[in-house]
Structure 1
Amino acid sequence: MKHSRYLWILLGIITLIYTATLVTIRLENPKSIQKTTYTRWQEAYVINQTKERAFVNTSNNRRKPVALSEGQGYGLCITAWAGEKGWAQEKDYRHLLNYYLAHRDTVKSHRNHLMAWRQASKKGKWTSQANSATDGDLFIAASLRSAAKVWPQHASYYRQLEQKVCADILHYEYNPQTRSLTVGDWATADSKYYRLMRTSDVAPSFFDQFYQLSHDRRWRTVKNGMLDHLLTLSKQHKTGLVPDFAWVGRHSAKPVRPNAVAGKNDGNYSANACRVPMMLADCKDPRAQKVLTKMMKFFAHRQYVTAGYRLNSKQLNHYQSDSFSAPIFYAVSANRGRGYDNLFESQKHIFAKPLTKHNYYDATLTTIAALKGMR
């Protein structure tokens, strides 16, 4: 009897230990995935140009590196978020920041705080191409807010620099007629592209952040205008899908035609628009939620999400792509319980294999999804 009692006590202790172990594994596994993903991304895509400068290689070839302002913006954000978890040091962030500062754009002989959109090695010489790209500038500015929180000893410097970047975005990349950001400082008032909007530049959480810093009411105008345009585009098709690019007026928006900007998929849900779920993920504005919910319901009814769609639902490809799945995972993770939770499970495939070292875009969006989407 006494022996039996001790046996039950022992079994109870073993059960408690087993249960505690399972809970610990379940809690630690996301953290392990996050750290492993960040470390692999950093090792594969961040290149030290000098002792004090580093850039994100977007070419998928370390022998022929290419830096883009978009990639640098992503890299700065990722590094600041990793720093918050103790996996990156401030010097890692500062090296990326120094590269951006050394490659700022120039308009009419005036050097501003936007980043020149592309640098590459040509015949052994590092060259920089003029003009900015708004998506990169938005992420660069947003990263500075994160850096100020993670490394408070230099918060004043980061906030001042963020204010300068934000001011130049409004000065060079804003069209008050359409209430929207343009696609870059090259899309000026005398250009036909002045009315062009990149749907993945609709970043309401960033706009709120920039308004809180500057109290410049134009950020509220930008947020309202661009969300209005995105909602208009969403309503035009049962799928809720939006195009990579759209022509916008003050109260109008329509998809561009093929090859209007960058290629045949300019008017489809393709390599730019795939980021829209990620950009809306943390926004509680009813317009953002309407766009996101409609889009997620479309994806939730697919057998699997493929790499791009026409706005009427026709697949552009028959294969899956992490750069399409990662933003969806992030969005669903931030909005659980809204009727499309099956996507949370189905899009986990992006973490079922080691992070690719040969596709910058897939790897970077997956890293963002890991750091910000695993909650």
Structure 2
Amino acid sequence: MIISELAEPFFLQRDLKRFLPLIVFLFLLMNSGIHAQNKPFPQQVNFPGCIKPSNVTQIEMNETIIDFYQKWKSKYLKKSDGGEIGKGYYINMKGTGGSGTEVTTSEAHGYGMIIFALMAGFDDSARIYYDGMVNLYDLHRSTINNNLMSWVIDPANGNSDGATDGDMDIAYSFLLASNQWGNDGIIQYKAKTDSMINLGLKGDDVRKSGSKRTTLGDWDGSLYNTRSSDWMADHMRAYYSLTKDLFWLEAADTIYSLINQISFSHSTTTGLMPDFVVDKIPTPAKPDFLEAQTDGDYSWNACRFPWRIAVDYAHYGTATAKEHLNKMLNWLKNSTNNNPEKIVAGYKLDGSKLVNYSDMAFTAPFIAACVCDATHQEYLNKGWSIIKKPQGDYYGDSIALLCLLFISGNWWKADLTATNTPSFSSAPHTRSNGKYKVQIRNSILTVQYNLPSKQAVRLTLSDISGRIFKKVQMWNHGSFQTAQFDLNTLKLQSGIYLMKISSPTVNDVIKINYTGNI
């Protein structure tokens, strides 16, 4: 492609009427409430030592996630205009153990905040939803530690104490948000996660001295009671990236000490974890310890455990995580005769079934765990086809969506210094009239760019699902340069497309609404 400077103004006055719809669209986009993203969906990270489904393409995975996300958002995202719970957004559900009048829990809030931070870029309203959820977090703090969230939002009974899983996910989501949108807006995400981590999680949700185990919440005074669904070692390493506090690495090590001891003494064959662990020498809780007869079994809390430590392996390469996941998956594949449709919703630690039915909350985390080793490729392929369809309840659908994001490489590291390697890396929806100009004329897309210095520049044209139509590599000479794309030759249909411009000094994306041959 020949690159040359234009000898006349880019938008000629005689063509103004012809290009007015596109000019108006771009102007509105430049000046609208659409927020710039640093890691917009899809990121498609290929994590070292991990696999992805081989029976679908990356584009197909992205499209599956978009479809699932839209259905999930339509069903579960709710807006509160004020009233008893205040203004903001929340994920509609009925929490376990509540009075029946609750509208959501901190668990659901954490899931939603992570999902919106990861789906930004596809969904231009993601930051609006996220910030609305932050507002409800602020309005519903724990009655014990004001840096944490009430485990339930219940207009009939008021705020309550906290729950560790929701608190840890919310704090983690602030790290994602800080990476995604920066900290130059009204809400200072980095400051919020700092106060949650240092003044809330450390001490009340994770024991600051003694055991360094996760607690059941800020209400729990025990040194040893802990819940396996809260064993989020990846979150702790992300907290360390912000705080540089070795406490968080020690807490992550404590998780694997618990896993090893339970696995050695109580689940020798299966590697399954119980919902709750008690005592100085880690022991599965007795029936009805806190929630149900199954408190000492692999049940509705522990079902999240495989996904949680799989993220730690993918993001940080934790060898102990992979070792344990392989033990658990080797048992599972044998137990189900290599058919993930036979995964059931609960097991004794010896592998015997608690029930004879399946649930996404159990299936999806096991399938997510399969990314850890190529020996699980067939199981992963089969499992993806199962978990890609919503089942219709908040808990299973939210967990499945998070697992789909993870498996596909669209859940990136939250570290403030994270270096992810996307196979197709998008970038922020940045607009600067002095930097870029865009024109479509006779189905020829012309992009002008003006970067501050001589440097190599890559332009990538894709659709919003990540499908790439053309890449161009060129050299910037420190003045306006021009690149052209023939949209007819590329066989583009009407729709929204992304033009990524990347170089050593910029990573920007221009969003283009192509309405056909104009």
Give the shorter-chain TM-score range. Answer: 0.7 to 0.9
Report the equivalent of 2:362: 324
CA distance in 1, matches of 2:175, 2:296: 33
Aligned to 2:292: 263
What is the deviation of 1:67? Answer: 0.8
Partner of 1:171: 203
What secondary structure does 1:227 align onto?
helix
Residue 374 of structure 1, CA deviation: 1.9
Q: Structure 1 unaligned runs (5+)?
A: 1-22
Residue of structure 1 aligned with 2:320, choices 278, 287, 293? 287
What residue is the counterpart of 2:476 in the other structure? none
Task: Verify the 8 A CA contact 1:35 1:87 in the aligned structure 2.
Answer: no
Contact 1:197 1:248 in 2 (8 A): no
The structural deviation recorded for 1:157 is 1.3
Q: How do 1:44-123 residues align onto structure 2 when only pairs under 5 Å count? A: 44-50=75-81, 52-59=87-94, 66-86=103-123, 88-107=125-144, 112-122=146-156
SS at match of 2:107: helix
State the 1:296 CA deviation. Answer: 1.2
Q: Shift of the alpha carbon at 1:84?
A: 4.7
Residues 50 and 290 of structure 1, relative CA distance in 2, 3 Å threshold:
same
Matching of residue 223 in structure 1 with residue 223 in structure 2: no
**Separation in 2 of the partners of 1:350 and 1:72?**
25
The alpha-carbon deviation at position 213 of structure 1 amounts to 0.5
Q: What is the aligned partner in structure 2 of residue 143 from structure 1?
A: 173
Q: Deviations over 1:251-297 (max 9, x none)?
A: x3111111111111100001111101111112222222222111111
1:310: how far off?
0.1
- Mark the CA change 1:85 to 1:372 in structure 2 (over 3 Å): closer, same or farther: farther
1:276 paired residue number: 305
1:186 aligns with 2:219: yes
- The number of aligned residues is 333
- Whose RCO is larger (CA < 8 A, sep 6+)? 2
Letter in 1 for 2:127: E
What code does the residue aligned with 2:88 have?
A: R
Q: Secondary structure at the residue paired with 1:106?
A: coil
Q: Is the 8 A contact 1:116 1:128 kept in 2?
A: no
**Structure 2: segments with no counterpart, 5+ residues:** 1-53, 337-341, 410-518
Q: 1:366 is paired with a residue of what secondary structure?
A: helix
Q: Alignment partner of 1:267: what SS?
A: coil
Give the TM-score, by structure 2 length: 0.61
Shift of 1:121: 4.2
Aligned to 1:7: none
Shift of residue 153 of structure 1? 4.9
Contact 1:114-1:132 at 8 Å conserved across structures: yes
Distance in 1 between residues matched to 2:150 and 2:309, nearest whole Å: 26
Contact 1:178 1:248 in 2 (8 A): no
SS state of the match for residue 341, structure 1? helix
User: Within 2, Cα distance between the matches of 1:351 and 1:286?
Assistant: 26
The equivalent of 1:341 in structure 2 is 377
Q: Given the alignment, which residue of 150, 164, 187 partners 1:134?
A: 164
RMSD between aligned residues: 2.2
Change in Cα spacing, 1:93 to 1:282, as seen in structure 2 (3 Å) is same
Q: C-alpha distance in 1, partners of 2:70/2:124?
A: 8
The change in CA–CA distance for 1:365 and 1:256 in structure 2 (over 3 A counts) is: same
Identity %: 25
CA shift in 2, pair 1:47/1:301, >3 Å:
same
Whether the 8 Å CA contact 2:64–2:388 is kept in 1: the answer is no
Paired residue for 1:30?
Answer: 61
Change in Cα spacing, 1:46 to 1:352, as seen in structure 2 (3 Å) is closer
Corresponding residue for residue 455 of structure 2: none
8 A contact 2:143–2:159 mirrored in 1: no
Distance verdict in 2 for CA 1:87–1:302, change over 3 Å: farther
Instruction: Name the CA distance, whole Å, in 2 between partners of 1:150 and 1:141.
Output: 14
Q: Return the offset for 1:59.
A: 2.1
Q: Scaled by the length of structure 1, what TM-score is found? A: 0.83
Moved over 4 A (4+): 84-88
- Post-superposition offset of 1:201: 1.1
Give distance in 2, aligned partners of 1:87 and 1:41. 16
The answer on 1:157 being equivalent to 2:188 is yes
| 2:360–2:387 Cα contact (<8 Å) kept | no
